[in-house]
A and B are shown apart, each in its own frame.
Chain A
Amino acid sequence: MQRKVKSRAWAYLGLALLLVLVLFVCVAIGSVRIPLSALVKTVFSPLVNALGELFSLPAWQDFGQDVPDTWRTILLRLRLPRVAVAMLAGVALSLAGATMQGLLKNPLADPYILGVSSGAAVGAAAAMLMGLSWNLLGAFAIPAAAFAGGIGSLVMVYSLSRGGGRSVLNMLLAGVAVSTFLGAVLSLLIFFSGQQLQQVVFWMMGGFSGCNWFHFLSILPFLAGGSLVIFWHSRELDALALGDEQAYYMGVDVERVRHRLLWASALLTASAVSVCGLIGFVGLVVPHAMRLIGGPVHRNLLPAAALAGAIFMAVADLLSRVVLAPTELPVGVITALVGGPFFLYLLKKRRVS
Chain B
Amino acid sequence: MVLLSLEAVDFSYGNSFRLEDINLGVERGDFIGIIGPNGSGKSTLIKLMAGYLSPDKGTVCLEGQLLAKLERKAVARKVAVVSQGVQTGFAFTVEEMVRLGRLPHLGRWSNEGPGDAAAVGRALAQTRLEAYRSRLFSRLSGGEAQRVLMAQALAQEPEILLLDEPTAYMDMAFQKEMFTLMARLNQEGITVVAVLHDVNMASLYCKELVALRQGRILIKGNPGEVITRENIEAIFGTAVAISPHPVTNRPQVTMLP
Residues of chain A at the chain B interface (Cβ within 8 Å): 1, 102, 105-107, 232, 235-236, 238-239, 241-243, 245-246, 248-253, 291-292, 295-297
Contact A243/B77 with A235-B106, A253-B72, A295-B91 known, Cβ cut-off 8 Å = no
Residues of chain B with a CB closer than 8 A to A105's CB: 88-90
A225 to chain B, nearest CB (A): 16
Q: How far is the CA of A80 from the CA of B71 in the complex (A)?
A: 47
A290 to chain B, nearest CB (A): 12
With contacts A251-B73, A296-B96 known, what are 17 further pairs, Cβ within 8 A?
Answer: A106-B89, A235-B100, A235-B103, A235-B108, A238-B92, A238-B103, A239-B100, A242-B88, A242-B100, A243-B88, A246-B86, A249-B52, A249-B79, A249-B80, A250-B103, A251-B75, A296-B91
1/0 per residue B199-234: CB within 8 Å of A? 000000000000000000000000000000000000
Residues of chain B with a CB closer than 8 A to A232's CB: 108-109
Task: Decide if A250 touches B89 in the complex (CB within 8 Å).
Answer: no
Quick check: is B50 within 8 A (CB to CB) of the other chain?
Answer: yes
A24 to chain B, nearest CB (A): 32
* 28 pairs, A vs B, C-beta closer than 8 Å: A105-B89, A105-B90, A106-B89, A235-B100, A235-B106, A238-B96, A238-B100, A239-B100, A241-B89, A241-B92, A242-B92, A242-B97, A242-B100, A243-B88, A246-B86, A248-B50, A248-B72, A249-B50, A249-B52, A249-B79, A250-B76, A250-B152, A251-B72, A251-B74, A253-B72, A291-B90, A292-B91, A297-B96
B57 to chain A, nearest CB (A): 22
A119 to chain B, nearest CB (A): 25
Task: Decide if B52 touches A245 in the complex (CB within 8 Å).
Answer: yes
Task: Decide if B76 touches A296 in the complex (CB within 8 Å).
Answer: no
Residues of chain B with a CB closer than 8 A to A252's CB: 72, 103
Residues of chain B with a CB closer than 8 A to A291's CB: 90-91
Task: Decide if A246 touches B83 in the complex (CB within 8 Å).
Answer: yes
Quick check: is B12 within 8 A (CB to CB) of the other chain?
Answer: no
Q: How far is the CA of A106 from the CA of B91 in the complex (A)?
A: 12
Residues of chain A with a CB closer than 8 A to B86's CB: 242-243, 246
Q: How far is the CA of A235 from the CA of B111 in the complex (A)?
A: 11
A297 to chain B, nearest CB (A): 5
> Which of B51, B76, B80 has its CB near the most chain A CB atoms (within 10 A)?
B76
Residues of chain B with a CB closer than 8 A to A102's CB: 90
B173 to chain A, nearest CB (A): 27
> Which of A232, A292, A297 has its CB near the most chain B CB atoms (within 10 A)?
A297
Q: How far is the CA of A295 from the CA of B97 in the complex (A)?
A: 12
Task: Decide if A239 touches B72 in the complex (CB within 8 Å).
Answer: no
* Chain B, range 45-99, C-beta contacts under 8 Å to A: 47, 50-52, 72-77, 79-81, 83, 86-93, 96-97
B69 to chain A, nearest CB (A): 13
Residues of chain A with a CB closer than 8 A to B117's CB: 1
> Which of B83, B90, B152 has its CB near the most chain A CB atoms (within 10 A)?
B90
A251's contact among B91, B96, B104, B109, by CB below 8 Å, is which? B104
